[in-house]
């Protein structure tokens, strides 16, 4: 499994947690490309001079993943809760066999998205304006 994602089952088997570490280099680079893809010309100008603005935080990833999952994998969203942060996106489910399958599928979806950059950026280009981006 890539170093930017991990599935954890809590010690007391209460929950299944998917941790997406968004500060790993390849995820940071993908986030920059996503921001450039969805930014208007002024936004691209600002990103060029203030590169940190071009980084995607956990809230940005949550906005994207909520849209993407709702459109393509609504079953994965069922019973899923999230806790986005500056350096990480966390999704969690109550413990159970069906929810563990959803967590595994979420891990696969995220890996596929990061590893297949060209296809992923094309999807963002097509749907970027439909995504309700978080602007924290």
Nearest CA among 55, 132, 110, 65 for reference residue 87: 55
Phi, psi (5° rounding) for residue 85? -135, 180
Identify the pLDDT of residue 82: 95
Identify the pLDDT of residue 29: 86
In a domain, residue 135? The reply is no
In a domain, residue 67? The reply is yes
Look at the chain and report how many structural domains it folds into: 1
pLDDT in tens, 96-109: 999 999 999 999 99
At 91, is the secondary structure helix, strand, or coil?
strand
Identify the pLDDT of residue 135: 52
Identify the pLDDT of residue 134: 63
Task: Output the pTM of the full model.
Answer: 0.83
Which portions of the chain are predicted below pLDDT 70? 38-55, 133-136
* Strand duo 15-21 + 5-9: pairing: antiparallel
In a domain, residue 136? The reply is no
Identify the pLDDT of residue 48: 54
At 40, is the secondary structure helix, strand, or coil?
coil
At 83, is the secondary structure helix, strand, or coil?
strand
């Amino acid at each position: 499994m890539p170093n930017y994602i991990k599935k954890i089952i809590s010690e007391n088997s209460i929950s299944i947690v998917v941790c997406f570490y968004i500060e790993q280099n390849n995820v940071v680079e993908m986030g920059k490309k996503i921001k450039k893809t969805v930014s208007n010309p002024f936004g691209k100008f600002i990103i060029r001079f203030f590169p940190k603005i071009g980084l995607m935080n956990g809230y940005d990833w949550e906005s994207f993943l909520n849209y993407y999952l709702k459109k393509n994998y609504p079953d994965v969203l069922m019973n899923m809760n999230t806790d986005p942060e500056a350096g990480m996106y966390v999704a969690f489910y109550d413990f159970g066999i069906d929810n563990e399958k959803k967590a595994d599928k979420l891990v696969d979806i995220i890996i596929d998205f990061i590893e297949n950059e060209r296809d992923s950026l094309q999807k963002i280009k097509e749907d970027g304006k439909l995504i309700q981006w978080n602007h924290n």
